[in-house]
Amino acid sequence: MSNKIATNYLLNLCYNVLIIIVPLITTPYISRTVGAEGIGIYTYCLSFSTYFIVAGTIGIPLYGKRSIAFVKKDQAKLDTLFSELITLQIILLGLSLTLYVIFFLIYQKYIYMFMACGLGVIAALFDTSWLYVGLEEFRKIVFRGFIIKIISVISIFAFVKSRRDLYIYALSIMVANLIGNIWMFVDVGKYVHYDRPKLISCVKHFKPALILLLPNIINTIYSVIDRTLLGVLSSDISEVGYYEQSQKIITLSLTLVTSLGTILMPRLASLFSENKTSEIEAYVNKGIRIISFIALPLSFGLFAISDSLVPWFFGDGYEKVNVLIRIFSPVIFLLGVSDLIGTQYLIAIKKEKTLLFINCATCIVNILLDIILIPFMQSYGAAIATLISEIIKIIACFSATKIHIFNNINYCCKYGMISFFMLIAIEFIYKNYLNASTILNTIVLVIGGIFIYFSIMIITKDTIIQMVVNVFQSKLRNNSCKIRGKRGNE
């Protein structure tokens, strides 16, 4: 079992690396080819199709993978459960697709882009990833992910040549996703047998799936509502494009930060079941310390290199993205900590209702701030609304738990001060020696920032650096002992 977990972790790690690499390859090209307005139109329409997908699945992806895991050793129950869930999913998403078509026929604006994004709703009809997750067949999911990404990238570079090809760009993504889902759908016969169920048998899953839907709805609304409101309240659809491009950079950085919470959650849940409260707090405090160690230099570093990064990465006409990245940069740290304290810790100790209340409150605050700020400040207003919402969320997370924020202030201040010094050094180097936006200069600034930060950490004998060194030394000792053992046996 441990080998399978390790394999699944490595597969997931490889896929996450791919998720980081693909936008780095495609974003500079798409930014120049379809422009901020094109990206804005696509993102705006995609946000609406996302709402219909979430409403149509009613929590089946989460409910399905958990339920499949419970019965996977009983083939008869597995066949019955899958048949009921996939039938319910197809019926509900078919209804959602019908409502989506009615929506964009009435709305009319960007109708062709809404039609292209509608393929995403169709793709969701064939989504059986929850079955594979429940069966722990992650190899299939990761392989499908690789295929989808590769098809998308090849299609984008082969067929998207100008701003007139905006719809081809959308179709490149949507069709690849549809192909991947149909392929997985056809392949389910290797694991389950479909028996046409009675409608009443399918309906019994509606309520438990719906209970799991509410948190998903809140998270989905919170993640895409800024784009939707920008498209509705802004005077220029390009503002959605600027916002989306800045978010891509932040999301890439967050991938390096939020993975820690996912790793810690099972351990926290195990300790909670054993009523080891002090050990839970120790783990969480250590987690906050590690996140501060990683996220604060990322936040300050991204703020520092934005002048160098944005012009060559996105091209001409994306000056606003530079400012947006700087507004968003603290969110990397805030989201890292709130993910650990909120999502991972509260779920581990079975306080889902508390987490739901916090997420609802944060989402409402964000929407209200968007409505107030976007008409006057456009994409800047949406970014400021997100930043304020995340600050409120992290305060609420600490208030709702027994984790003492004062235990971590010293470490946060230490890493913050060192990161600020790194920012000043990077700004000085860029303005006095480089002062040009090129990929080489950005790489030099990144390497210089990393060198400055870790040099100070080593000089000050930081505990995390020492912990990493101790782990490596332990690994080396274990490996050398194994080698000597093998030689002795020979």
C-beta neighbour count of 131 within 10 angstroms: 26
pLDDT given for residue 407 in this prediction? 64
**What mean pLDDT comes out for the span 254-260?**
68
CA distance 200 to 153: 43
Residues 449 and 466 in one domain: no
When the pLDDT of each residue in the chain is averaged and rounded to a whole number, the result is 82
Residue 371, C-beta contacts closer than 8 angstroms, at least 6 positions apart: 229, 233
pLDDT given for residue 152 in this prediction? 87
CA distance 239 to 43: 11
CA distance 56 to 94: 8
Contact assessment for residue 216 and residue 183, using Cβ atoms and an 8 Å cutoff = no
Q: Would you place residue 481 in the very low, low, confident or very high pLDDT band (cuts 50, 70, 90)?
A: low
Q: Would you place residue 57 in the very low, low, confident or very high pLDDT band (cuts 50, 70, 90)?
A: confident
What is the domain range of residue 80?
Answer: 1-204
Query: Is the pLDDT reported for residue 490 higher than 60?
Result: no
Asked if residue 328 is part of any domain, the answer here is: yes
Owner of token pair 């890292």: 336
Q: Would you place residue 325 in the very low, low, confident or very high pLDDT band (cuts 50, 70, 90)?
A: very high
Distance of CA 292 to the CA centre of its chain: 19
Contact assessment for residue 205 and residue 59, using Cβ atoms and an 8 Å cutoff = no
Asked if residue 212 is part of any domain, the answer here is: no
Higher pLDDT, 265 or 384: 384
HSE at residue 455, side-chain half, CA atoms within 13 A, is 8
Gyration radius of the chain's alpha carbons: 24
Residues 288 and 365 in one domain: yes
Residues 11 and 152 in one domain: yes
pLDDT given for residue 168 in this prediction? 92
pLDDT digits (tens, 9 = 90+) for 407-457: 677 778 888 899 999 999 999 998 888 888 888 988 999 999 999 998 888
pLDDT given for residue 265 in this prediction? 53
Residues 464 and 390 in one domain: no
pLDDT given for residue 406 in this prediction? 63
Going by C-alpha positions, the residue among 262, 206, 240 that lies closest to residue 63 is 206
According to DSSP, residue 274 is labeled T
Q: Would you place residue 366 in the very low, low, confident or very high pLDDT band (cuts 50, 70, 90)?
A: very high
Q: Could you write out the three-class secondary structure of 256-302?
A: HHHHHHHHHHHHHHHHHHCCCHHHHHHHHHHHHHHHHHHHHHHHHHH
pLDDT digits (tens, 9 = 90+) for 462-474: 777 777 666 666 6
Query: Is the pLDDT reported for residue 296 higher than 80?
Result: yes
CA distance 390 to 405: 16
Higher pLDDT, 274 or 222: 222
CA distance 297 to 77: 50
Contact assessment for residue 111 and residue 105, using Cβ atoms and an 8 Å cutoff = yes
- Indicate the range of 60-74, 361-375, 406-420 predicted with least confidence: 60-74
Residues 357 and 310 in one domain: yes
pLDDT digits (tens, 9 = 90+) for 31-50: 889 888 888 999 889 988 98
Asked if residue 183 is part of any domain, the answer here is: yes
Distance of CA 327 to the CA centre of its chain: 19
pLDDT digits (tens, 9 = 90+) for 108-129: 788 899 999 999 999 999 988 8
Asked if residue 209 is part of any domain, the answer here is: no
Q: Would you place residue 184 in the very low, low, confident or very high pLDDT band (cuts 50, 70, 90)?
A: confident
Q: Would you place residue 364 in the very low, low, confident or very high pLDDT band (cuts 50, 70, 90)?
A: very high
pLDDT given for residue 287 in this prediction? 78
Residues 251 and 107 in one domain: no
Asked if residue 219 is part of any domain, the answer here is: no
CA distance 189 to 241: 41
Residues 391 and 451 in one domain: yes
Query: Is the pLDDT reported for residue 229 higher than 80?
Result: yes
Can you list the positions of beta strands (E) in 142-210?
A: none
Query: Is the pLDDT reported for residue 248 higher than 90?
Result: no
User: Averaging pLDDT over each range in 157-166, 245-254, 460-469, which range is the top one?
Assistant: 157-166
pLDDT given for residue 424 in this prediction? 93
Distance of CA 202 to the CA centre of its chain: 31
CA distance 368 to 358: 16
Residues 120 and 240 in one domain: no
pLDDT given for residue 28 in this prediction? 86
**What mean pLDDT comes out for the span 195-204?**
81
Query: Is the pLDDT reported for residue 99 higher than 90?
Result: yes
Asked if residue 441 is part of any domain, the answer here is: yes
- Indicate the range of 3-7, 386-390, 446-450 predicted with least confidence: 3-7
- Indicate the range of 137-151, 153-167, 387-401, 432-446 predicted with least confidence: 137-151
Residues 165 and 288 in one domain: no
pLDDT given for residue 1 in this prediction? 41
pLDDT given for residue 2 in this prediction? 43
Residues 464 and 441 in one domain: no
pLDDT given for residue 432 in this prediction? 87
The region, left, alpha or beta by phi > 0 then psi within -120 to 50, assigned to residue 271 is: alpha
pLDDT given for residue 115 in this prediction? 92
Q: How many independent structural domains does the chain possess?
A: 3
Contact assessment for residue 267 and residue 389, using Cβ atoms and an 8 Å cutoff = no
Contact assessment for residue 218 and residue 356, using Cβ atoms and an 8 Å cutoff = yes
Residues 265 and 152 in one domain: no
Asked if residue 216 is part of any domain, the answer here is: no
CA distance 415 to 305: 18
Residues 309 and 196 in one domain: no
Asked if residue 194 is part of any domain, the answer here is: yes
Contact assessment for residue 18 and residue 147, using Cβ atoms and an 8 Å cutoff = no
Backbone angles phi, psi at 234, to 5 degrees: -80, 150
